[in-house]
Amino acid sequence: MICFAAVTRVRVSFEKVGKRFDTRTVLAQLSGAVEPGRVLVVAGPNGSGKSTLLNILAGVIRPSRGEVRYRQNEEDIPRARWFAHLGVAAPDMAVYDELTAVENLMFFARLRGLEARPDSIGALLEELGLGAREHGRHVGTYSSGMKQRVKLAQAVIHEPAVLLLDEPSSNLDTAGHDAVARLVDRFRSRAAVAVATNDPREMAWSDARIELAL
């Protein structure tokens, strides 16, 4: 059994956030929040800065201006502890091709201090539509849709308080999209969720929306 931590409620707020890459401004003066119990959808055309905003919220890139705050029970979360609360799945992320799906998730669970067993990991993979027959194969032999399912599983294996999903249904078939929708629904009540997307089906998950423009 995976030993989940008690549910924590974390709020991510951003104030007048901007990002420049060399001379190009990608984001300018953007404010908002990812609230517990709500799904924030970030929409906009390609190149409008959806992924950049999620990367800034995740803390993997620094904004050129403005501030991002991570707060739990009205107290700031230090950066060193922030990643423990966070789950991310994005197109610029991958899991290890040389490992099986179960080995990948065992690895990420161990890094996060969880006591994960193959059967509980198998249950999570099946929830995302990856059948037991596939669990023992190296991820390198998977299709892009199957890899996406493993990537989503690593994002939620520790039941994060904040879940950031960038194009979560990319490469997935209808069944895969439905599995992601169920996953988002499960996290809606217990976590703060942000989804960057242009897919109208994913936009329908929103409780709040940010529209970015070029």
Q: Given the complex with another protein, which of 100 and 206 has the nearer CB atom?
A: 100
103 lies in the site for another protein, by CB under 8 A: yes
Q: Three-state SS across 77-124? A: CCHHHHHHHEEEECCCCCCCCCCEHHHHHHHHHHHCCCCCCHHHHHHH
Question: Which residue in 97, 119, 207, 211 binds another protein (CB under 8 A)?
Answer: 97
- Contact range with another protein by CB under 8 A, out of 36-44, 105-113, 129-137, 197-205: 105-113
CA distance 187 to 156: 9
Task: Give me the least distance between CB of 123 and another protein, in Å please.
Answer: 20
In the shown chain, the binding pattern of residues 139 to 158 toward another protein, with x for contact by CB under 8 A and - for none, equals ------------x--x---x
Q: What angle do CA 169, 116, 4 make, to 5 degrees?
A: 75
CA distance 69 to 51: 18
Q: Given the complex with another protein, which of 14 and 108 has the nearer CB atom?
A: 108
Question: Which residue in 113, 131, 207, 209 binds another protein (CB under 8 A)?
Answer: 113
Q: Which residues pair with 204 in a beta bridge?
A: none
71 lies in the site for another protein, by CB under 8 A: no
Task: Give me the least distance between CB of 159 and another protein, in Å please.
Answer: 10
Complete edge-to-edge strand list for the sheet that includes strand 86-89: 86-89, 162-166, 192-196, 39-43, 208-211
> What is the H or E stretch that residue 159 is in?
none
Task: Give me the least distance between CB of 60 and another protein, in Å please.
Answer: 6
Task: Give me the least distance between CB of 56 and another protein, in Å please.
Answer: 14
88 lies in the site for another protein, by CB under 8 A: yes
204 lies in the site for another protein, by CB under 8 A: no
Burial class (CB in 10 A: 0-12, 13-18, 19+), 70: buried
58 lies in the site for another protein, by CB under 8 A: yes
